[in-house]
Chain A
Amino acid sequence: MSGAGHAHHLIRRRQLVVVAGAALVLALAVFSLTVGPFDISTGRVLAILFSAGNPAGTAATGTAGTAGDVISTAAGTAGDAAAAVVWGIRFPRALLAVFAGGGLALAGAVMQGVFRNPLADPGIIGVSAGGAVGAVSALVLAGRFVTPAVLEHLALWLAPAAALAGACAATALIYRLSLRRGQVDVPAMLLCGIAVNAASGAFIGLVNALVATAEEVQTLAFWTLGSLGRATWELLAAGALFLVPPLVALPFHARALNALALGEEDAAMLGVNVPRVKRALIALSCSLTGATVALCGMLGFVPLVAPHIARLALGADHRLLLPASALAGAALLLAADMTARVIVAPAELPVGIVTSLLGAPVFLSLIAKRRAAR
């Protein structure tokens, strides 16, 4: 059985690649803790991470972002300050990069599977924009009806929930409009994305001009550009509710996604409950997309590029593609965020600019390749 043996060895080798990818993400995450205006060596970071009594409790209140680094540095002795920066600022930020990057990439891989098209990216087809509209309207509207003190607590949960609803609504709309006789019509899908993106951009602009306070304008800018700068433990805890269940549940749908690649009728012939699986896949990937939009704004092209890299390395089997995409997305966003923090130091770029600069050429090359394949 040379054929059977060959398949077995190939799968083994690919499983090892996934494990190596996980190790790479871990190394990148630790390295990212050393990057920033406040110089902390890798050895020092490891010492802080493995020291028994971690000062996370005291550091968690530190303000986020680069400015936080500087303030914390001034606040205590160099040693305490380093620990405070690592635990209070850089660690939650690295975690956010891993979860948001991994989550977005997983959502991208799943949507590409459901739409049976490598161009289905939550950003391009308007799912992220739908999420942003949900989050923005929830926050601005809630600001009109509840006191700021209540809003402070509510905002953490409200934004991801509203973003989820917006993302699901956008996906349902796009899916309905782009389905032709059981097959997804790609031009229709991309045109829907253009329309949804334009409409939501206009909506956010309108909110910006008409109702937003100066402070809210800042927040809205954050949503449209994308940044990991808001990372705190509280924000992570709120986001985890929407990120962790899909991250755990989606890999279990890998075989159904493989069958769906044949088309919905053939998948049904293989015993897959297509309507139920499709609903679950769309809801779970919208939860991922909505939560990342609420936590760090619209990060373009991560959901497109990461699964593409994973597919090139490991092939199209979703049992490997899903974890590999998540790892690739986490690594990409960690690297992009480090670049954003270093390239114009001591200021920092919104990381969305870096991911778009990276992703747009990949998107264009995918289109060129599909043209050539015709």
Chain B
Amino acid sequence: MNSLSAKNVTLRRGGRALLADVSVAFRAGELGVILGPNGAGKSTLLRVLAGALRPDAGNAFLDGAPLRDYAPDVLAKRRALLAQENAPWLEFSVEEVVALGRTPHLRGRAWESASDRQICARTLRQVGMDAFHHRRFATLSGGEKQRVHLARVLAQLAVGAVGGSAAASSFLLLDEPVSALDLRHQHTTLALARSLAKRDGLGVIAVLHDLNLALRYADHVVLLADGAVAAAGAPRETLTCELLSRIYGVCARLHCPAGAPCPFVETELPADEDAGVHGFCAVCSRADVAA
């Protein structure tokens, strides 16, 4: 089974530990979600898993081998990172941005082949941006730009390659992929991520803020707090109202109406800050007082 993991990773910046002895593992064929409050180290962990950041201690592993043992172009075909901040000055057209994803596949060739172009057209269709292929990238809205970049990283992993998927052993890392998207596109994007995992066998790892999207789509969640793993596992067992209340500093209530596909979480600020936060679990009818 293909896996992407971090073992005992510590990463310091300016005397502060952004990650402290973090060990996580993600498997191909699953949608993993990293959750946690601001500054918990979610993006940092994702970058370590992508090989974009070198940890001070510990290591990231792809299929059991340290990332640094892979040649950059080999690694580029096995994992792709959709970053949160994107280039401010991009004078490319939409299809040129997507075609950049084919960079590691060109080898000595200067130009994309017909099959490269077909892959790009297909990934643009997957994110619902195919009607925009000739538009100047700079003229798109924030959410549209995010979807074009998603098409670019899909093209990098050759998802939807004609004549067999080369993506089965690849990992797609998404840093807040739905942050700029409207409700419908949040669902279509995560549904796409899930089908890439289930149908194409890709490993997808996404940083999310929305707990309900995590409960709805994730196979596996990792909850980070202060640069350490607070909990990890299947979402329904892991995301208890007690834990969420404590980590996020809000009153969290889990509900599971009859016939709903999954529980949903409702959160609010505590009425009395001094009294602490409360969790209430309507699923198991248990009320907790968190620390």
Residue of A nearest to B105 (CB): A271
Interface centre among B83, B89, B101, B110 (most CB of A within 10 A): B89
A254–B77 Cα distance when bound, in Å, is 20
| Contact across chains for A270 and B76 when beta carbons are under 8 A apart | yes
Q: Which residues of A contact B228 (CB under 8 A)?
A: none
From the candidates B47, B83, B89, B104, name the one contacting A117 in the complex (CB within 8 A): B89
From the candidates B72, B81, B114, name the one contacting A4 in the complex (CB within 8 A): B114
Tell me if A116 counts as interface (CB < 8 A to partner B): yes
Tell me if A369 counts as interface (CB < 8 A to partner B): no
Q: Which residues of B contact A265 (CB under 8 A)?
A: 47, 52, 81, 83
A255–B77 Cα distance when bound, in Å, is 16
Tell me if B103 counts as interface (CB < 8 A to partner A): yes
A1–B99 Cα distance when bound, in Å, is 15
Contact A272 to B103, CB < 8 A, known contacts A118-B89, A266-B87:
yes
A10–B77 Cα distance when bound, in Å, is 27
Contact A271 to B91, CB < 8 A, known contacts A1-B117, A3-B130, A8-B117:
no
Residue of A nearest to B81 (CB): A269
A143–B120 Cα distance when bound, in Å, is 60
Task: Give min CB distance, B113 to chain A, whole Å.
Answer: 10
Tell me if B133 counts as interface (CB < 8 A to partner A): yes
Task: Give min CB distance, B53 to chain A, whole Å.
Answer: 9
Contact A315 to B91, CB < 8 A, known contacts A3-B124, A265-B52, A270-B104:
yes
Contact A258 to B134, CB < 8 A, known contacts A273-B72, A316-B91, A319-B111:
no
From the candidates B96, B104, B120, name the one contacting A315 in the complex (CB within 8 A): B96
| Contact across chains for A269 and B120 when beta carbons are under 8 A apart | no
Contact A6 to B96, CB < 8 A, known contacts A255-B110, A266-B83:
no
- Within A194-208, which residues are at the interface with B (CB < 8 Å)? none
A8–B110 Cα distance when bound, in Å, is 13
From the candidates B50, B86, B99, name the one contacting A7 in the complex (CB within 8 A): B99
Contact A1 to B100, CB < 8 A, known contacts A270-B76, A272-B72, A316-B92:
no
- Within B133-190, which residues are at the interface with A (CB < 8 Å)? 133-134, 156
What band does the interface of chain B fall in when counting residues whose beta carbon is under 8 Å from A?
A: 35 or more
A317–B92 Cα distance when bound, in Å, is 7
Q: Which residues of B contact A263 (CB under 8 A)?
A: 83, 85-87
Q: Which residues of A contact B133 (CB under 8 A)?
A: 3, 6-7
Q: Mark A263-300, 1 if CB is under 8 A from B, else 0.
A: 10110111111000000000000000000000000000
Tell me if A262 counts as interface (CB < 8 A to partner B): yes
A8–B156 Cα distance when bound, in Å, is 19
| Contact across chains for B92 and A7 when beta carbons are under 8 A apart | no
Task: Give min CB distance, A321 to chain B, whole Å.
Answer: 9
Task: Give min CB distance, B98 to chain A, whole Å.
Answer: 9
Residue of B nearest to A316 (CB): B91
Tell me if A311 counts as interface (CB < 8 A to partner B): yes
Q: Which residues of B contact A7 (CB under 8 A)?
A: 95, 99, 112, 117, 120, 133
A10–B117 Cα distance when bound, in Å, is 13
Q: Which residues of A contact B277 (CB under 8 A)?
A: none
Task: Give min CB distance, B261 to chain A, whole Å.
Answer: 34
| Contact across chains for B50 and A269 when beta carbons are under 8 A apart | yes
| Contact across chains for B90 and A262 when beta carbons are under 8 A apart | yes
- Within A119-141, which residues are at the interface with B (CB < 8 Å)? none
Q: Which residues of A contact B81 (CB under 8 A)?
A: 265-266, 269
From the candidates A4, A259, A270, A273, name the one contacting B118 in the complex (CB within 8 A): A4
Q: Which residues of A contact B19 (CB under 8 A)?
A: none
Q: Mark B115-139, 1 if CB is under 8 A from A, else 0.
A: 0011011001000001001100000
From the candidates A116, A255, A273, name the one contacting B103 in the complex (CB within 8 A): A255
A374–B124 Cα distance when bound, in Å, is 28
Tell me if A261 counts as interface (CB < 8 A to partner B): yes
Q: Which residues of B contact A258 (CB under 8 A)?
A: 92, 96, 100, 103
Q: Which residues of B contact A268 (CB under 8 A)?
A: 52, 72
Q: Which residues of B contact A10 (CB under 8 A)?
A: 134
| Contact across chains for A11 and B111 when beta carbons are under 8 A apart | yes
Task: Give min CB distance, A54 to chain B, whole Å.
Answer: 37
Q: Mark A145-171, 1 if CB is under 8 A from B, else 0.
A: 000000000000000000000000000
- Within B257-289, which residues are at the interface with A (CB < 8 Å)? none
Contact A259 to B100, CB < 8 A, known contacts A265-B83, A319-B110:
yes
Tell me if B75 counts as interface (CB < 8 A to partner A): yes
Task: Give min CB distance, B76 to chain A, whole Å.
Answer: 3
From the candidates B72, B87, B104, B124, name the one contacting A116 in the complex (CB within 8 A): B87
| Contact across chains for B93 and A271 when beta carbons are under 8 A apart | no
| Contact across chains for A255 and B117 when beta carbons are under 8 A apart | no
Q: Mark A162-194, 1 if CB is under 8 A from B, else 0.
A: 000000000000000000000000000000000
Task: Give min CB distance, B100 to chain A, whole Å.
Answer: 6
Residue of A nearest to B94 (CB): A3
A269–B76 Cα distance when bound, in Å, is 6
Tell me if B106 counts as interface (CB < 8 A to partner A): yes
Residue of B nearest to A252 (CB): B110
Tell me if B225 counts as interface (CB < 8 A to partner A): no
Task: Give min CB distance, A189 to chain B, whole Å.
Answer: 13
| Contact across chains for A1 and B118 when beta carbons are under 8 A apart | yes
Tell me if B73 counts as interface (CB < 8 A to partner A): yes
Tell me if B214 counts as interface (CB < 8 A to partner A): no
Residue positions of A touching B, CB distance < 8 A: 1, 3-4, 6-8, 10-11, 116-118, 254-255, 258-259, 261-263, 265-266, 268-273, 311, 315-317, 319
A-B contacts, 15 of them at CB < 8 A, read: A1-B117, A3-B130, A6-B134, A7-B95, A7-B120, A258-B96, A261-B87, A262-B87, A263-B87, A265-B81, A266-B86, A266-B87, A273-B72, A315-B91, A315-B96
Given contacts A258-B92, A262-B90, A270-B100, 13 further A-B contacts (CB under 8 A): A3-B121, A3-B130, A6-B133, A8-B117, A116-B89, A118-B89, A261-B100, A263-B86, A269-B76, A270-B103, A271-B74, A271-B75, A316-B91
Q: What 9 A-B pairs come out closest when comparing CB atoms?
A: A271-B76, A4-B117, A316-B91, A271-B73, A3-B121, A271-B104, A270-B103, A3-B133, A271-B72
